[in-house]
């Protein structure tokens, strides 16, 4: 099915107009021939998109507006594609503008914004053009401009193009060296918008897509470890933020687990608090529900700056995963050893098992063994890798 859109690109020199710019705008207004050239250049930079039928350009105040009608197949997203293309186009066009406008005060600081709205009739409509223009201006002012738009596009593409994949890092039982379980970690080829998983997860939270990303990576984690041993656990990272969502339900997850012959009793949700927990009652309620289905809970990154003892008190986890910041160099640092000891006591009190994370040195491992820590994870014991692990 064909879908129609009306898109507007705006090029504006200052996000929010301020007084000292007025004079310079008037000066800029006077150069009709320059404006015509700039508009032409902008049209050819911004609307190279394959399905553009009609384009118009218009100067309003000191801002340039370009509008276009676009028709695509139902599953395409011109708003994402335009957004992806915009920063490059804006950069090239700004260079051109700088040359055209040299010796005037108006030759700097252009910013691009894009608005794209559904246009059922496929014909040009001024009310929709206004709506798209408003969004384009809002994007410049509020959403951080086209770069943000491009990140949104890359994010959506990464989810739908399946560039994400799971890695697994062993968690070792120090009593006998066996693999107690694996932590699933999301990986993808680094790109210009997202260097690593943490950036991707934070961005998903910012744009309100955390839940969707979380579900995708959870399913990847389960699909990717088909040969998990019957006695082994699978640790899956979940952002606390997601657990607060009243719609969060692991129902789909159960079905997927069954297909892979993994029991909920083998699955541990690792809760991390990189965004602070707002609503403990909501999370507790969600956790009760999981627990009744057999899942276990770990608090991730214990001892890192953003993790809180409140979550230990409120959530009563089955495992405490001790952050690398506490483990690193623990053999030479009495304070770290003391903190670990305190966490061991806490764990005993609430019936939670400790897992030390981020072990890189033999000395750290020896110290932890000496202190009676049973489970550990880190590059020394095994790096994250695809399943089955080497």
Cβ proximity to Mn ion: between 62 and 384 the closer is: 384
Name which of ligand G, Mn ion, none residue 311 binds, using a CB cut-off of 5 to 8 Å depending on partner kind.
none
* Helices first, then strands: H and E counts in the chain: 14, 12
Q: Which residue has its beta carbon closest to ligand G?
A: 378
Judged by CB under 6 A, which of 169, 193, 296, 311 binds ligand G? 169
Main-chain phi, psi angles of 193, to 5 degrees: -85, -35
Distance, CA of 179 to CA of 171 (rounded, Å): 6
Name which of ligand G, Mn ion, none residue 185 binds, using a CB cut-off of 5 to 8 Å depending on partner kind.
ligand G
Residues that contact Mn ion, how many (by CB under 5 A): 3
Cβ proximity to ligand G: between 301 and 367 the closer is: 301
Name which of ligand G, Mn ion, none residue 306 binds, using a CB cut-off of 5 to 8 Å depending on partner kind.
none
Distance, CA of 130 to CA of 137 (rounded, Å): 11
Site map (CB under 6 A) of ligand G, residues 327-356, x = contact: ------------------------------
CB of 308 to Mn ion, least distance (A): 16
Name which of ligand G, Mn ion, none residue 384 binds, using a CB cut-off of 5 to 8 Å depending on partner kind.
ligand G
Cβ proximity to Mn ion: between 270 and 273 the closer is: 270
Other CB atoms within a 10 A radius of the CB of residue 282 amount to: 15
Judged by CB under 5 A, which of 63, 79, 214, 300 binds Mn ion? 300
Instruction: Compute the half-sphere exposure of residue 202: CA atoms within 13 Å on the CB side of its CA.
Output: 10
Distance, CA of 331 to CA of 369 (rounded, Å): 11
Other CB atoms within a 10 A radius of the CB of residue 320 amount to: 24
3-class DSSP state for residue 201? Answer: helix
Judged by CB under 6 A, which of 63, 214, 301, 318 binds ligand G? 301
CB of 381 to ligand G, least distance (A): 8
Other CB atoms within a 10 A radius of the CB of residue 374 amount to: 15
Cβ proximity to ligand G: between 325 and 344 the closer is: 325
Q: Which stretch binds Mn ion (CB under 5 A): 198-206, 264-272, 330-338, 367-375?
A: 264-272
Judged by CB under 6 A, which of 284, 360, 385, 389 binds ligand G? 360
Eight-state DSSP code of residue 389: P
CB of 300 to Mn ion, least distance (A): 4
CB of 238 to ligand G, least distance (A): 11
Distance, CA of 2 to CA of 205 (rounded, Å): 32
Q: Which of 180, 185, 189 is nearest to 169 (CA)?
A: 185
CB of 68 to Mn ion, least distance (A): 45
Over the Cα atoms of the chain, what is R_g?
A: 27
Other CB atoms within a 10 A radius of the CB of residue 281 amount to: 9
The answer to whether 355 and 376 are in contact (CB under 8 A) is: yes
CB of 309 to Mn ion, least distance (A): 18
Q: Which stretch binds Mn ion (CB under 5 A): 97-105, 169-177, 236-244, 340-348?
A: 236-244
3-class DSSP state for residue 170? Answer: strand
Q: Which residues bind ligand G (CB under 6 A)?
A: 169, 185, 237, 272, 300-301, 324, 357-360, 378-379, 384
């Amino acid at each position: 099915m064909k879908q129609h859109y009306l898109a507007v690109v705006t090029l504006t020199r200052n996000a929010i107009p301020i007084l000292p710019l007025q004079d310079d705008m008037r000066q800029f207004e006077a150069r009709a021939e320059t404006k015509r050239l700039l508009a032409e250049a902008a049209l050819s930079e911004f609307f190279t998109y394959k399905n553009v039928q009609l384009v118009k350009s218009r100067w309003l105040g000191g801002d340039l507006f370009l509008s276009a009608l676009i028709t695509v197949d139902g599953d395409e997203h011109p708003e994402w594609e335009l957004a992806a293309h915009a920063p490059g186009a804006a950069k090239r066009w700004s260079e051109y503008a700088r040359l055209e406008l040299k010796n005037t005060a108006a030759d700097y600081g252009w910013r691009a914004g894009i608005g794209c709205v559904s246009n059922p009739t496929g014909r040009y409509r001024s009310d929709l053009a206004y709506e798209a223009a408003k969004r384009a201006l809002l994007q410049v002012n509020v959403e951080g401009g086209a770069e943000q738009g491009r990140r949104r596009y890359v994010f959506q593409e990464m989810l739908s193009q399946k560039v994400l994949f799971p890695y697994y890092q062993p968690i070792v039982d120090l009593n006998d060296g066996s693999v107690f379980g694996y932590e699933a970690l999301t990986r993808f080829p680094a790109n210009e918008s997202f260097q690593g998983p943490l950036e991707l997860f934070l961005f998903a939270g910012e744009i309100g897509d955390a839940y969707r990303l979380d579900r995708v990576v959870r399913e990847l984690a389960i699909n990717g470890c088909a040969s998990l041993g019957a006695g082994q656990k699978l640790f899956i990272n979940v952002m606390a933020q997601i657990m607060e969502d009243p719609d969060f339900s692991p129902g789909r997850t159960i079905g997927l687990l069954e297909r892979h012959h993994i029991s909920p009793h083998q699955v541990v949700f690792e809760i991390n608090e990189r965004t602070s927990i707002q609503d403990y009652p909501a999370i507790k309620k969600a956790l009760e529900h999981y627990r009744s289905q057999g899942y276990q809970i770990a608090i991730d990154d214990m001892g890192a700056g953003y993790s809180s003892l409140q979550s230990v008190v409120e959530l009563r986890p089955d495992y405490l995963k001790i952050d690398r910041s506490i483990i690193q160099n623990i053999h030479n640092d009495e304070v770290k050893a003391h903190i670990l000891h305190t966490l061991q006591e806490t764990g005993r009190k609430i019936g939670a098992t400790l897992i030390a994370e981020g072990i890189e040195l033999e000395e750290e491992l020896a110290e932890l063994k000496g202190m009676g820590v049973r489970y550990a994870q880190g590059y020394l014991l095994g790096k994250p890798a695809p399943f089955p692990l080497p």
